[in-house]
């Protein structure tokens, strides 16, 4: 079945540690890729997106992600996390011709210890 | 410019009761979506509307109905609520081609629904 997989359910880091959250998808063809963040009690906000071009994309708050087509991956990274990055992170895929429908991964909860 | 507005923010229902969740967007977007979010499940698409007057089923449509009342509004109705429908519901709309950066979904603040 076509899906979006996020490898980690819950990640716990100390401040200043580096972060990498994995995301793999199983669709062939053209895809648009997204990372959304949900802070506690809030709605989803777009962190970054990949449509085409440079596979290394930079988003808000120092986050970046790399699209590796051969691995069907779109991993999220941040060199040094802060306590305020505590949130749930969702990877999402939009397939070409899908009328804009997003398929979400199950999310990764990040807890950053001060 | 309020973006995507959902009402109510919280609701408690008894099994068998009905209710309608309201969603409105002021960005002139063509397409709108309803998702439910459950712990450990991510967001799952319930229904979507690609344009005014059209609606289509998503991944988990059973137990729900939708109405695209006009371009701004897209409502979600639970005719006979069940405990399995306890969830957080998010409405979203997507930027149109030619309207700034396309294919970006904008989300409302959510409705937290409990069915007892």
Q: Any residues with CB less than 8 A from the CB of B52 and at least 6 apart, and which?
A: B30, B68, B70, B71
pLDDT band at B96 (very low <50, low <70, confident <90, very high): confident
Strand partners, B35: B45, B90
pLDDT digits (tens, 9 = 90+) for B38-51: 988 889 999 999 98
Q: Any residues with CB less than 8 A from the CB of A7 and at least 6 apart, and which?
A: A21, A22, A23, A24, A108
Tell me what the mean pLDDT of segment B60-88 comes to.
96
- pLDDT at residue number A107: 94
pLDDT band at B99 (very low <50, low <70, confident <90, very high): low
Residues of A in contact with B104 (CB under 8 A): 46, 49
Residues of B in contact with A23 (CB under 8 A): none
Per the prediction, chain B carries an average pLDDT of 92
Q: Which of B29, B34, B43 to mutate to test the interface with A (most CBs of A within 10 A)?
A: B43
pLDDT digits (tens, 9 = 90+) for A53-89: 999 999 999 999 999 999 999 999 999 999 999 999 9
pLDDT band at B61 (very low <50, low <70, confident <90, very high): very high
B82 touches chain A (CB under 8 A): no
pLDDT band at B13 (very low <50, low <70, confident <90, very high): very high
Q: Any residues with CB less than 8 A from the CB of B32 and at least 6 apart, and which?
A: B23, B25, B48, B49, B68, B74, B91, B92, B93, B94
pLDDT digits (tens, 9 = 90+) for B75-85: 999 999 999 99
pLDDT at B2 over 80: no
Residues of A in contact with B35 (CB under 8 A): 104
- pLDDT at residue number B32: 95
Query: DSSP strand E in chain B: where?
Result: 4-7, 10-13, 19-25, 31-38, 42-49, 56-57, 65-68, 74-78, 87-94, 105-107, 111-115
Task: Give the pair of three-digit tokens for residue A15.
Answer: 């401040």
pLDDT at B71 over 90: yes
pLDDT at A1 over 60: no
pLDDT digits (tens, 9 = 90+) for B49-58: 998 889 999 9
pLDDT digits (tens, 9 = 90+) for A3-45: 899 988 999 999 999 999 999 999 888 889 999 999 988 889 9
Q: Hey, is B104 helix, strand or coil? A: coil
């Amino acid at each position: 079945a076509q899906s979006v997989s996020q490898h980690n359910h819950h990640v716990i880091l100390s401040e200043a540690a580096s972060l990498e959250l994995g995301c793999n998808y199983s669709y062939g063809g053209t895809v648009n890729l997204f990372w959304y963040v949900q802070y506690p009690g809030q709605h989803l906000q777009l962190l970054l997106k990949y449509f085409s071009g440079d596979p290394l994309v930079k988003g808000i708050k120092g986050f970046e992600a790399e699209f590796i087509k051969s691995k069907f991956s779109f991993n999220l990274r941040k060199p040094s996390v802060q306590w305020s990055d505590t949130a749930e992170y969702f990877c999402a895929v939009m397939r070409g011709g899908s009328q804009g429908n997003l398929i979400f991964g199950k999310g990764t909860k990040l807890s950053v210890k001060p | 410019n309020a973006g995507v507005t959902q009402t109510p923010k919280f609701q408690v229902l008894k099994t068998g009761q009905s209710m309608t969740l309201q969603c409105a967007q002021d960005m002139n977007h063509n397409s709108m979506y309803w998702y439910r979010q459950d712990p450990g499940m991510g967001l799952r698409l319930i229904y979507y509307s690609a344009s005014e007057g059209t609606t289509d089923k998503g991944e988990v449509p059973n137990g729900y109905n939708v109405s695209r009342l006009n371009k701004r509004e897209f409502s979600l109705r639970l005719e006979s609520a069940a405990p399995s429908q306890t969830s957080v519901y998010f409405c979203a709309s997507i930027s149109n081609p030619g309207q700034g950066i396309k294919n970006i979904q904008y989300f409302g603040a959510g409705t937290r629904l409990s069915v007892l």
